Amino acid sequence: MTLQELSSFYRGKRVFITGHTGFKGMWLSKALEMAGAEVTGYALDAPTEEGMAALVYSHVLEDMHTSHGDVRDLVTMKRAFASARPEIVLHLAAQPIVRLSYQYPVETYETNVLGTVNFLECVRQSDTVRSVVNVTTDKVYENREWCWGYRETEPLDGYDPYSNSKSCSELVTHSYDKSFLRERGVAVSTARAGNVIGGGDFAPDRIVPDAVRAARQDAPVQVRNPYSTRPYQHVLEPVTTYLLLAMRQYEDASLAGSWNVGPDDEDCVTTGELMDIFCAAWGKGASWEHPETDGDAPHEASFLKLDCSKLKSRLGWRPRWHIREAVDQSVEWYQAWGQDRESIASCMEQQIEAFLNGGVR
Decide if 361 is inside a domain: no
Q: Mapping DSSP to helix (H, G, I), strand (E, B) and coil, where does residue 237 land?
A: helix
Total-model pTM: 0.94
Q: Would you report the helix, strand and coil content of the chain in percent, each value rounded to 5?
A: 50, 15, 35
Give the per-residue pLDDT at 72: 98
Asked whether the CA dihedral 149, 152, 153, 157 is positive or negative, the reply is: positive
CB 15 within 8 A of CB 92: no
Decide if 360 is inside a domain: no
Decide if 343 is inside a domain: yes
Q: Mapping DSSP to helix (H, G, I), strand (E, B) and coil, where does residue 261 land?
A: strand
Give the per-residue pLDDT at 342: 75
Count of domains for the chain: 1
Ramachandran bin of 205, using left for φ above 0, alpha for ψ from -120 to 50, beta for the remaining angles = left
Q: Which of 291, 261, 248 is nearest to 131 (CA)?
A: 248
Decide if 57 is inside a domain: yes
Q: From CA 84, how far away is CA 102, in angstroms rounded?
A: 35
Low-confidence stretches of the chain (pLDDT beneath 70): 46-61, 293-302, 359-361
Contacts of 27-30 spanning 24+ positions with Cβ under 8 A:
27/198, 27/200, 27/235, 27/236, 27/239, 27/348, 27/352, 28/90, 28/92, 28/239, 28/242, 28/243, 29/60, 29/61, 29/64, 30/60, 30/61, 30/345, 30/348, 30/349, 30/352
CB 81 within 8 A of CB 9: no
Pairing mode, strands 288-289 and 233-234: unpaired
Sheet strands (E) in 102-228: 131-135, 187-193, 196-197, 221-222
Decide if 272 is inside a domain: yes
Q: From CA 291, how far away is CA 308, in angstroms rounded?
A: 34
- Helical segments of 177-291, H only: 207-216, 236-251, 271-282
Give the per-residue pLDDT at 51: 53
Give the per-residue pLDDT at 300: 63
Alpha carbon 205 to its chain centroid, in Å, reads 16
CB 272 within 8 A of CB 130: no
Decide if 230 is inside a domain: yes
Task: Give first-to-last CA distance, the chain, whole Å.
Answer: 17
Give the domain CATH number at 184: 3.40.50.720
Decide if 28 is inside a domain: yes
Decide if 100 is inside a domain: yes
Count other Cβ atoms within 10 Å, centred on residue 230.
Answer: 25
Give the per-residue pLDDT at 145: 82
Give the per-residue pLDDT at 53: 53
Count other Cβ atoms within 10 Å, centred on residue 293.
Answer: 7
Give the per-residue pLDDT at 57: 55
Domain extent, residue 303, equals 3-355
